[in-house]
Amino acid sequence: MTRLPPARIRRIAVAPLLGESPKGGWSAEIRPEDSIHALIAVHTECGLSGYGSVFTDGRLVQAAVKVLEPLWAGENALEPERVTEKLHQNTFWMGRGGSLTHTISGIDIALWDILGQATGLPVGQLLGGIRRRRVQPYCSLLMERPEAMADVIAPYRAQGFRAFKIGWGPFGRTDEPGLDEAIVRAARAAAGEGAQLFVDAGASDAYWPQGLKWALRTAEMLADYRVGWFEEALSPDALDDFCELRRRSPVPIAGGEVLTRRQAFLPWLVRGAFDIVQPDVTKVGGISEQRRIAWTAADHGVKYIGHGWNTALGLAADLQLAAALDAPLVEYIGGSPYVDGLLATPFQLDADGCLAIPDAPGLGVAIDAEKLARYTPEPAALLRA
């Protein structure tokens, strides 16, 4: 048997994405020129390069990569779990769960990409085996007032999406009687009776005004429109209220996108706060950490469906995780150039509204250099091995 020689990490490059950043529905709204996502490239001495995605300001990612350099320089890129755990273990004193953890996420995704290329296998197979070869994406869209919801959903229904998530916007944020229900009613009509529909209150937003009683009333309303889950219905630190909401809600309760590292998820899973847990692979510590969280969720009877409001590389990682973990859905931001406009071969829905999971080595996708140049000032620095 031939052993793979080490692939020593020579350089890690960062490309902040900006210029066409999509709105997030936040109180402090994202501007197109803001950086909220960054791409990472891990280059090795043997010529292999892997790519990952980070959900945070690119300037923070650039600083974090520099801070982490003494820990990753010269490491073997073919050992993603060991290397990224080393990064976690040796940076506790700088604050666990913040920009360093987000950055480690992108590095970890890139290391798995390299391991796949070195072995000739897709990441999903490396994670334990391919349990599905395609998965349904749900189109993630912002809420608008009821009269505008048809215009929001219709273009993506025409593209072939058969599942939709609406979130943020005015939902739960006004005193206007009946507005929340009118938005959901309009969205259900626009999506169609046969489509899956999910609702995200976005309670991780600044100064979220609602509490448990609002969430309980709203959950009852959502059941009337066959909503598949109620996401981020409460402030992200309200563990006790989430447990009570899940116990009493007629619709499944989802959350967890703001949590990072597996340890933070434990009390939420053990105490039964979620029906569906939604870690974000570009924030929690990467593919290595996401898999551990999903396994723990399964042990506690909680369904795993990753949060994926990120980039084409983040979606590629989610697809490989879906293959290995048999996740039934992946999140797909509607209309984001950072998802639709980065790859040499863009993602394409099939006739059933599903995405094929790439089966080429690693993440199975390739960045288009000319497309990347639209969204970052120095694309060559990312792609140059």
- The predicted-structure confidence for 236-250, as pLDDT tens digits, reads as follows 999 999 999 999 999
Kindly report, residue by residue over 278-298, the tens digit of the pLDDT: 999 999 999 999 999 999 999
Task: Using a pLDDT cut of 70, give the percent of the chain over it.
Answer: 100
Tell me whether strands 134-142 and 329-333 are parallel, antiparallel or unpaired.
parallel
Question: Two tokens at 35?
Answer: 């950086």
Q: What is the CA radius of gyration of the chain?
A: 20
Nearest C-alpha neighbor of 374 from the set 39, 37, 20, 51: 20
What single string gives the DSSP state of each residue in 172-234?
Answer: TSS--TTHHHHHHHHHHHHH-TTSEEEEE--TTSTT----HHHHHHHHHHHHTTT-S-EES-S
Kindly report, residue by residue over 144-184, the tens digit of the pLDDT: 999 999 999 999 999 999 999 999 999 999 999 999 999 99
Q: What angle do CA 189, 195, 199 make, to 5 degrees?
A: 75
> Which CATH class for the 125-356 domain?
alpha beta
Query: Which residue, chain included where needed, has tokens 């490396």?
Result: 126
> Which CATH class for the 9-122+368-383 domain?
alpha beta
3-state secondary structure of 134: strand
The single-letter code of the amino acid at 69 is: E
Phi first, then psi: give them for residue 176, nearest 5 degrees. Answer: -75, 115
Q: State yes or no: pLDDT of 121 exceeds 80.
A: yes
Cβ–Cβ under 8 Å, residues 156 and 164: yes
CA-to-CA dists, residue 308 to 9, 119, 280, 373, angstroms: 27, 27, 6, 23
Q: Does the pTM exceed 0.95?
A: yes
Domain definitions of the chain by residue range: 9-122+368-383, 125-356
**Would you say the CATH fold of 125-356 matches that of 9-122+368-383?**
no
Kindly report, residue by residue over 134-150, the tens digit of the pLDDT: 999 999 999 999 999 99
Q: State yes or no: pLDDT of 270 exceeds 80.
A: yes
Q: For residues 329 and 163, give the distance between their C-alpha atoms in angstroms, rounded to a whole number.
A: 9
> How does 192-208 read in b/e, with b if 16+ C-beta sit within 10 Å?
eeebbbbbbbbbbbeeb
Question: Two tokens at 53?
Answer: 């995605």
Kindly report, residue by residue over 290-334, the tens digit of the pLDDT: 999 999 999 999 999 999 999 999 999 999 999 999 999 999 999
